[in-house]
Chains A and B, each alone.
Chain A
Amino acid sequence: MASISIDNVRKSFGAAEVIKGVSFEVADGQFAVLVGPSGCGKSTLLRMIAGLESVTDGDIKLDGRRINDVPPDQRGIAMVFQSYALYPHMTVAENIGFSLELKRVGKAKIRAQVRQVADMLQLSELLDRRPSALSGGQRQRVAIGRAIIKQPRVILFDEPLSNLDASLRVQMRAELQRLHQELKPTIIYVTHDQVEAMTMADTIVVLNQGNVAQWAHPIELYRRPTSTFVATFIGSPRMNLIRGIIAGQEAVPSFAAAEGWTVPLAGSTAARGQPVWLGIRPEDIRLVDAGAAADLSCKVAIVERLGAETYLSVVNGADTLLVRVQGDVALRPGDTVQLALERAGFHLFDQTERRF
Chain B
Amino acid sequence: MPARHLIIGGGTAGMNAMRTIREEEREPSEITLVSAERPYSRMVLPYYLDRSIAESHVFTATAAHLARWKVKTLIGRRAAALDPQANVCTLDDGTRVEYDDCLIATGSSAVRAPVPGADGRGVHSFWTLAEARRVLDSVSPGSHVVMVGAGFISFTILNSILALGAKLTIVELAPRILPRMVDAVGAEVVESWLKAHGVTVRTDVKLASIQDAKDRKRLKFSAGPDLLADVVIMATGIRTNLDWLEGSGVAVQQGVVVDEHLRSNVPNVYAAGDVAQGRDLISGGLAVHAIEPTAQEHGRVVGANMAGRDVRYRGSLIINIVEVCHLDAASFGAWDDAHAEAMAGLKKDRNAYRKLLFTGERLTGAIIIGRSNDIWTTNDVGMLKGLVQSAQPLGRYKEHLRRNPFDVKTAFIAAKTTSTLLPETVLGRPSKAPGDSPVAV
The answer to whether A and B come from one shared complex is no
Which A residues are within 8 Å of any B CB, using their own CB? none
